Structure 1
Amino acid sequence: MTSEIELTPEPRILIESLRDIGYSFDSALADIIDNSITAHAREISVFALPIEDSFKVAIIDDGDGLNRSDLLQAMRLGSTNPRDERAIGDLGRFGLGLKTASFSQCRRLTVVSRQHGKTAAFTWDLDTVVRENSWSVLERADFEHLFAFDELPSTGTLVLWEKVDRLTGDNGSGKVDYARIVSEAQDHLSLVFHRFLSGEKGIQKVNISVNGRFLEPIDPFNIANDATQASPEEIVCPGVALRSFTLPHISTYEDKREYDRYGLPGGYLRNQGVYLYRAKRLIIFGTWFGLTKKTALTQLTRVKIDIGIDQDEVWKIDVKKVSAQMPEIVRRRVKSLIQTIGAPSRKVYRRRGARLTSPAVYPVWNRTENGEKTTYSINAEHPVLKSFREGLDGENQKQFDSLIALIGAMLPTEALFYDMSNNAENISATALESEDFSRNARAFFAALKQFKNDEESLDTMRTIEPYQTRWNETLAALGIEEQ
Structure 2
Amino acid sequence: MNKLRENKPTADVLMVSMRAMGYSFESAVADIIDNSISAHAKDISVRFPIDPSECYIAIYDNGDGMTAEELFDAMKYGSESKREGRTDDDLGRFGLGLKAASLSQCRRLTVASKKNGVVSAFIWDLDVVEQKRDWYVIECSQEQTKNIRFIDCLEKYNSGTVVLWENFDIIEKSTGNVFGTLSNYMTQTSDYLSLIFHRFLNRNDKSAVKISVNNFQLRGIDPFLENHNKTNIRREIKITIPDSEGNEHIVTVQPFILPFQKDLSAEDKKRSGGIENYRSRQGFYIYRNERLIVWGTWFNRHRDELTKYARIRVDIPNSLDDIWGIDIKKQSATIPLPIRKRLTKAVDEAMDISVHKQTYRGRIAKVDEERDYVWDRISQREGLFTYRINRDSKVFDLIKETINEEAVPYLDMILEEIENNLPYQQIYIDKSHNIIDEETTDERIADVEAKAEVMIKFAVSAGATDINGMIDRLFLSEPFSNFPELKDKLKENHNG
Instruction: Confirm or deny a common fold (TM above 0.5).
Output: yes
Aligned to 1:187: 191
After TM superposition, give the deviation of residue 146 of structure 1 in Å: 2.4
Alpha-carbon distance change, 272 to 123 in structure 1, aligned in 2, over 3 angstroms = same
Shift of 1:304: 0.6
The reply to whether residue 422 of structure 1 matches residue 413 of structure 2 is yes
Question: Structure 2 unaligned runs (5+)?
Answer: 241-248, 391-395, 397-408, 422-496
Q: Which residue of 1 is the match for residue 442 of structure 2? A: none
Corresponding residue of 2:140: 140
Seen in structure 2, the aligned counterparts of structure 1 residues 426 and 73 have a Cα distance that, compared at 3 Å, is farther
SS in 2 for 1:131: helix
User: Conserved in 2, the CA contact under 8 Å of 1:296 and 1:421?
Assistant: yes
Using the TM superposition, give the Cα deviation of residue 277 of structure 1 relative to its aligned residue in structure 2, in angstroms: 0.8
From 245, 264, 268, the equivalent of 1:253 is 264
Distance 1:128 1:425, change over 3 A: farther
Residue from 226, 232, 248 that aligns with 2:229: 226
The aligned amino acid for 1:205 is: A
Q: Please tell me the root mean square deviation across aligned C-alpha atoms, in Å.
A: 3.4
**What aligned pairs does 1:272-421 form with structure 2 within 5 A after superposition?**
272-290=282-300, 292-351=301-360, 369-371=366-368, 373=373, 374=375, 421=412
Pair 21,350 (structure 1): closer, same or farther in 2 beyond 3 Å = same
In the alignment, which residue of structure 2 is the partner of 1:197?
201
User: Which of the numbers 256, 280, 301 marks the counterpart of 1:270?
Assistant: 280
Matches within 5 A, 1:3-82: 3-49=3-49, 51-80=51-80, 82=82
CA contact (8 A) 1:123 1:140 kept: yes
Structure 2 counterparts to residues 430-449 of structure 1, below 5 A: none
Q: Which amino acid aligns with 2:217?
A: F
Letter in 1 for 2:258: L
Q: Would you identify which runs of 4 or more consecutive aligned residues in structure 1 move more than 6 Å?
A: 411-414, 417-420, 423-430
Tell me the alpha carbon deviations over residues 276-321 of structure 1, each in whole angstroms, 9 at most, x when there is no partner.
Answer: 111111111111122x143321111111111111111121211111
Cα separation, 2, equivalents of 1:106 and 1:21 = 13
Kindly state the Cα deviation for residue 239 of structure 1 after the two structures are TM-superposed.
2.1
| Distance in 2 of aligned mates of 1:261 and 1:428 | 30
TM-aligned CA distance change 1:420 to 1:150, over 3 Å: same
**How far apart are 1:52 and its partner, in Å?**
4.2
Distance change >3 Å, CA 195–CA 206, structure 1 → 2: same
Q: Is the 8 A contact 1:88 1:309 kept in 2?
A: yes
Q: How far 1:423 moved relative to its partner?
A: 6.6
Q: 1:274 Cα deviation (Å)? A: 0.8
* One-letter amino acid matched to 1:308: P
Larger Rg: 1
- Flag the 1:413–1:38 CA change in 2: closer, same or farther, 3 A: closer
1:244 matched to which residue of 2? 255
Query: Structure 2 vs 1, CA of residues 217 and 174 (structure 1 numbering), >3 Å: closer, same or farther?
Result: closer
Q: 1:16 to 1:266 in 2, by over 3 A?
A: farther
CA distance in 2, matches of 1:162, 1:176: 15
Q: Which amino acid aligns with 1:251?
A: K
SS of equivalent residue, structure 2 residue 173: coil
In the superposition, relative to structure 1, how do residues 375 and 298 fare at CA in structure 2: closer, same or farther (>3 Å)? Answer: closer
- How many Å apart are 1:428 and its aligned residue? 11
Distance 1:157 1:419 in 2: 42
C-alpha displacement at 1:171, in angstroms? 8.2
Specify the SS of the correspondent of 1:37: helix
Amino acid at match of 2:221: I
1:121-171 Cα deviation digits (max 9, x unpaired) = 110001110111121111123232222223223321100000123334368
One-letter identity of the residue aligned with 2:349: T
Amino acid at match of 2:167: K
Change beyond 3 A, Cα 1:306–1:6? same
Deviation at 1:333, TM superposition (A): 1.3
- Give the Cα separation in 1 of the matches to 2:134 and 2:90: 31
Q: Indicate if the aligned counterparts of 1:270 and 1:294 stay in contact, CA closer than 8 A.
A: no
Shift of 1:48: 1.5
| CA–CA distance in structure 2, aligned partners of residues 427 and 248 of structure 1 | 24
Question: Which residue does the alignment assign to 1:88?
Answer: 88
| Cα distance change on mapping 1:80 and 1:319 into 2, 3 Å | farther
Normalised TM-score (structure 2): 0.70
- Percent of aligned positions that are identical: 37
CA displacement at 1:262 relative to structure 2: 1.8
Aligned to 2:454: none
Verify: 1:164 aligned to 2:168, yes or no. yes
Q: Match for residue 433 of structure 1?
A: none
Distance 1:426 1:83 in 2: 54
* 3-state DSSP of counterpart to 2:269: helix
Cα 1:422–1:412 shift into 2, 3 Å: closer
Relative to 1, partners in 2 of residues 1:171 and 1:421: Cα closer, same or farther, differing over 3 Å? closer
Aligned residues between the structures: 388
Residue 73 of structure 1 deviates from its aligned partner by: 1.1
Distance in 2 (alpha carbons) for counterparts of 1:325 and 1:185: 25
Among 151, 171, 184, the residue aligned to 1:149: 151
Equivalent residue number for residue 114 of structure 1: 114
Amino acid corresponding to residue 307 of structure 2 in structure 1: T
Amino acid at match of 2:65: G
Shift of 1:15: 0.9
Long gaps (5+) in structure 1: 358-366, 384-407, 431-483
Give the secondary-structure state (helix, strand or coil) at the position aligned to 2:279: helix
Per-residue deviation, residues 245-290 of structure 1 (Å, max 9, x unmatched): 11111111233x6336525586233311111111111111111122
Tell me the CA shift for residue 56 of structure 1: 0.8
Task: State whether residues 253 and 346 of structure 2, in contact with CA within 8 Å, keep that contact through their aligned partners in structure 1.
Answer: no
Change (3 A) 1:171 1:303: closer
Q: Secondary structure at the match of 1:285?
A: strand
Take 1:332 and 1:30, find their aligned partners in 2: how far apart are those partners? 31
Q: Return the alpha-carbon distance in structure 2 between the equivalents of residues 338 and 160 of structure 1.
A: 43
How much has 1:235 moved relative to structure 2?
0.9
Q: Contact between 1:168 and 1:175, CA under 8 Å: does it hold in 2?
A: no
Distance 1:329 1:412 in 2: 34
- Counterpart amino acid of residue 53 in structure 1: S
